Structure 1
């Protein structure tokens, strides 16, 4: 593809390194892809690991989140760089946003979560999807202590989301807003964001595999993710059929009460991404029981399609939408062991045909070249829209 002649300042607040973040990984990969396409990049980055060492960090970050005030001067470096546009990924909790809205430069914002409408960014509370703040106001975030289980910690986020996505300072100033799944795209339209400014561009996955392997002779399935409530591992293990093998990657321990007497469950612990990518083709399918909508098509789901394996996912999620829209696996309803078993059987019966189709969907939607091309179009649109769109 052709080179893109442009200068872009990329703004991102990195989450703590001791908490694995697919968003942090995605931002670095995307910056690399833009550079390889010929775009000059200025990295305007702040790290929670570093920022949290400063005196009064919690006070300053709370003020920044609640009011948009920034205690640094990032606009100086941006002005010297003189970019064609500013691309914002995440400002929480280390950047204010007022300085961004004062720049006389078009802004592009990529949405990685639901932070503009929800204090914890997940639209998830007490084991279920929660739309209370987007529909009834952000006071609920304070009442329920939705951020870190604390009312005090939730107050700044509740203040910042008081106007919902439509009233969000940064989104109002953005000439282009990148959504990374159909579900997020629809949600933002429902929240009052003008559709003309929304661009649906799923994140890419680097191409690792050159061919699609045959499915294993003995069916075998894999779960990849942390053992946290929203990932749904506990509920999956309760439903898992005894006649099929499931390997769990990403959790150092599984609940002993769920593991007892189940010899068909393998706990492989935490593995590096390179190991996961290498071994995905050895499985019949990926199982994704995530209980939240996700701010993008989940990375491991995209990696599965790149590896040419189908996905079985819990219904009512971004992963389930991808499966339904492109027929790359099966979905099951929450609590239904029979539907889970049926979905697993469908991926077994789909065999090589389904694996080849999964790979074709990857090539259609999720390659780096596809992403760079669509981002180039979004950037041109943002420049045409101008400042204060």
Structure 2
């Protein structure tokens, strides 16, 4: 099968799990014998643009005529069987969907977040889950300045979302949602259920194995409010106050809360803040973890770090909402706590440190679940099935 992958990469100073998933899918498809080409734009390129070119970027977010023409020419030259679209913001725009129609190539789109119904794609605003635009007017996002706390920065996203809704919803042969919970929300917003299926992200086995004697609890990811860092800090302080912290907490990552987290960790000998780590360093940290904490206060569409922990045989303590409830079997492969509830998270932290035998058993069950549902060979077979369905024009089975 000839596949063209279309993607706009994120800025390198903000490492994205989405970028990693895209490149892993490409590598796995190629390894399975498929002819895979990539049509990429890089957000890092914006920094080197002239001032005039930079000023044009927001104006082209809703529609980029040049991207449409360039992709159409590429499609005519390559003649793929199917196009797989990922992120189109900010340098590609939804015009890439029109380019596929111009050439008559079926398009599949993976929905990594909620940008089809939410300008910033997070369903999170002012410290709470926000679904105001789900099934309603996205103009509220401009009023609140939902993207980067800026009305001018939010406006191009809302224009793109509003002006191109029919194009997206009619021009994509098959939408791949990364979780059932994400699909449910998008269908509620009016997206075409008969072309929306669930395809979990492919997660490569990194050959990481949980240590016989793990020596820390791990938070690994972006340091942002919606990821639940403040909730974790409050819960950890209570956890320590109850003399239950047999293992230290290691926090690795970068983001807007980096300085706040670093300052908090400095005053606590049982906390180690490491900042942004390389992939090899992340693997080492994961191998030494008794548990990974995923305290997100927003509705995670998937949860890459959760499945990477499962692959390593490490149980997870995760908030019981969003995709986490379908990734984590409570008491079997990990623990779920009440979202936003400090006491419930404290209890989860205590449980993963108080029973080594149970902790090890949950890790083994997590690894078995990974092999059954998330291993690359499983994901590639499902992905190719979705491509063939898009080519054939098949509708999705009810979920």
- State the TM-score, normalized to the length of structure 1: 0.89
What's the offset of the Cα at 1:19? 1.6
Q: 1:95 aligns with which of 84, 92, 98?
A: 92
Structure 1 residue aligned with 2:282: 276
Note if 1:9 corresponds to 2:13.
Answer: no
User: Aligned pair in 2 of structure 1 residues 260, 34: CA closer, same or farther (>3 Å)?
Assistant: closer
Q: Deviation per CA, 1:160-217, whole angstroms, max 9, x where unpaired? A: 22379xx35224211111111121122222223333322211112222337654453x
Structure 1 residue aligned with 2:381: 373
**Greater mean alpha carbon deviation, residues 46-55 or residues 78-87:** 46-55
Rounded Cα–Cα distance in structure 2 between residues aligned with 1:327 and 1:277: 23
The answer on whether the counterparts of 2:208 and 2:283 sit within 8 Å (CA) in structure 1 is: no
Counterparts of 1:195-206 in structure 2 under 5 Å?
195-206=193-204
Aligned pairs, number: 377
What's the offset of the Cα at 1:344? 2.4
Q: 1:287 aligns with which of 265, 270, 293?
A: 293
Rounded Cα–Cα distance in structure 1 between residues aligned with 2:262 and 2:205: 37
Cα RMSD (Å): 2.4
The answer on whether the counterparts of 1:227 and 1:254 sit within 8 Å (CA) in structure 2 is: no
Rounded Cα–Cα distance in structure 2 between residues aligned with 1:62 and 1:256: 34
Structure 1 residue aligned with 2:337: 332
What's the offset of the Cα at 1:83? 0.7
Rounded Cα–Cα distance in structure 1 between residues aligned with 2:266 and 2:341: 21
Structure 2 residue aligned with 1:246: 249
Rounded Cα–Cα distance in structure 2 between residues aligned with 1:385 and 1:325: 38
Structure 2 residue aligned with 1:3: none
Structure 2 residue aligned with 1:140: 140
Alignment partner of 1:294: what SS? coil
What's the offset of the Cα at 1:336? 3.1
Q: 1:22 aligns with which of 1, 8, 17?
A: 17
User: Aligned pair in 2 of structure 1 residues 326, 367: CA closer, same or farther (>3 Å)?
Assistant: farther
Rounded Cα–Cα distance in structure 2 between residues aligned with 1:227 and 1:212: 24
Structure 2 residue aligned with 1:230: 226
Rounded Cα–Cα distance in structure 1 between residues aligned with 2:260 and 2:139: 36
Counterparts of 1:257-268 in structure 2 under 5 Å?
258-259=264-265, 261-268=267-274
Structure 1 residue aligned with 2:364: 356
What's the offset of the Cα at 1:326? 8.8
Q: 2:172 aligns with which of 163, 174, 183?
A: 174
The answer on whether the counterparts of 2:218 and 2:285 sit within 8 Å (CA) in structure 1 is: no
Structure 2 residue aligned with 1:323: 328
The answer on whether the counterparts of 2:252 and 2:274 sit within 8 Å (CA) in structure 1 is: yes
Note if 1:83 corresponds to 2:89.
Answer: no
Q: 1:382 aligns with which of 390, 393, 399?
A: 390
Q: Deviation per CA, 1:238-268, whole angstroms, max 9, x where unpaired? A: 1111031211111454446634653221212
The answer on whether the counterparts of 2:265 and 2:272 sit within 8 Å (CA) in structure 1 is: no
Q: Deviation per CA, 1:359-387, whole angstroms, max 9, x where unpaired? A: 01110111110110000100110010089
**Greater mean alpha carbon deviation, residues 191-200 or residues 319-328:** 319-328
Rounded Cα–Cα distance in structure 1 between residues aligned with 2:185 and 2:46: 32
Alignment partner of 1:132: what SS? coil
Alignment partner of 2:317: what SS? strand
Rounded Cα–Cα distance in structure 1 between residues aligned with 2:66 and 2:298: 31
Rounded Cα–Cα distance in structure 1 between residues aligned with 2:22 and 2:262: 36
> Structure 1, unaligned stretches of length 5 or more?
1-5
The answer on whether the counterparts of 1:290 and 1:314 sit within 8 Å (CA) in structure 2 is: yes
Rounded Cα–Cα distance in structure 2 between residues aligned with 1:352 and 1:335: 26
The answer on whether the counterparts of 1:238 and 1:258 sit within 8 Å (CA) in structure 2 is: no
Note if 1:40 corresponds to 2:35.
Answer: yes
What's the offset of the Cα at 1:271? 1.5
- State the TM-score, normalized to the length of structure 2: 0.87
Rounded Cα–Cα distance in structure 2 between residues aligned with 1:210 and 1:309: 10
The answer on whether the counterparts of 2:211 and 2:287 sit within 8 Å (CA) in structure 1 is: yes
Rounded Cα–Cα distance in structure 2 between residues aligned with 1:100 and 1:172: 12
